[in-house]
Chains A and B, each alone.
Chain A
Amino acid sequence: DAMVIQNPRYQVTQFGKPVTLSCSQTLNHNVMYWYQQKSSQAPKLLFHYYDKDFNNEADTPDNFQSRRPNTSFCFLDIRSPGLGDAAMYLCATSRAGGLTGELFFGEGSRLTVL
């Protein structure tokens, strides 16, 4: 059974039209991450939540926001998607902050911007 579930798997949006991607987990992990992976590139961390504490990467554009209403769910909001935001967005969770444990990844949400 999938432990990290991302919805939708595929999202098409128009330039500038806000989009929300969701991630849910059944692992009860306290850390949730959002990564952006562009075609043929390595995943790049956008931000993460350690419990309710939000940690933004320094180079994450303001266009990207996140919400974590409870332990199980985390959302990625892209306020005004540009063509350069087309990518696979990966959600991941970990129990020990990734330092000693492993990250569990969802299958990703592929975003297309028209």
Chain B
Amino acid sequence: AQKVTQAQTEISVVEKEDVTLDCVYETRDTTYYLFWYKQPPSGELVFLIRRNSFDEQNEISGRYSWNFQKSTSSFNFTITASQVVDSAVYFCALSERSSNTGKLIFGQGTTLQVKP
């Protein structure tokens, strides 16, 4: 069965600290896609990154970086030098090719609070 687990419910850091959000997934498919979304207080889910199962290369985008490791079924997200504007709920999600619906399976989310 497919599942996404974000074990950290809430994280609080002080501005400029680095923070890593963990994501562990389960799937039987060999082809799948992993996503991270940000949900600020306004409610909209903002796309951050997509990774396919055949691309384990880590990615860096500004202060954001992602570490994908198939061996541990993890897709962790690191924010370097966090800022108050990073405060939001972050969701990790999985989409399986076999589902043929594009259905996103979300983790429970991690609430990040960055204090000034």
Q: Which residues of A contact B (CB under 8 A)?
A: 31, 33, 40-45, 48, 50, 55, 88, 90, 92, 94, 96-108, 110
Q: Is the CB of B45 within 8 A of A105?
A: yes
Q: Is the CB of B107 within 8 A of A99?
A: no
Contact partner of B45 (CB less than 8 A), chosen from A41, A90, A94, is A90
Given known pairs A99-B33, A100-B33, A102-B50, the reply for A45 and B104 (CB within 8 Å) is yes
> In chain B, what residue has the closest Cβ to A33?
B102
CB of B63 to closest CB in A, whole Å: 20
Q: Is the CB of B108 within 8 A of A41?
A: yes
Q: Which residues of B contact A (CB under 8 A)?
A: 33, 35, 37, 42-47, 50, 52, 91, 95, 97, 100-104, 106-109
Q: Is the CB of A45 within 8 A of B107?
A: no
CB of B94 to closest CB in A, whole Å: 11
Q: Given the complex of chains A and B, what is the CA–CA distance between A55 and B37 in angstroms?
A: 24
Contact partner of B102 (CB less than 8 A), chosen from A41, A96, A110, is A96
Q: Is the CB of A110 within 8 A of B101?
A: no
Q: Given the complex of chains A and B, what is the CA–CA distance between A99 and B33 in angstroms?
A: 7
Contacts of A110 in B (CB 8 A): 43
A-B contact pairs, 28 of them (CB 8 A): A31-B102, A41-B108, A42-B106, A42-B107, A43-B104, A43-B106, A45-B103, A48-B103, A92-B45, A94-B102, A96-B102, A97-B100, A97-B101, A97-B102, A98-B33, A98-B101, A98-B103, A99-B33, A99-B95, A99-B102, A100-B33, A100-B52, A102-B47, A102-B50, A105-B44, A105-B47, A107-B43, A107-B44
Q: Is the CB of A98 within 8 A of B44?
A: no
CB of B43 to closest CB in A, whole Å: 4
Contact partner of A99 (CB less than 8 A), chosen from B37, B45, B97, B106, is B97
Q: Is the CB of A98 within 8 A of B95?
A: yes
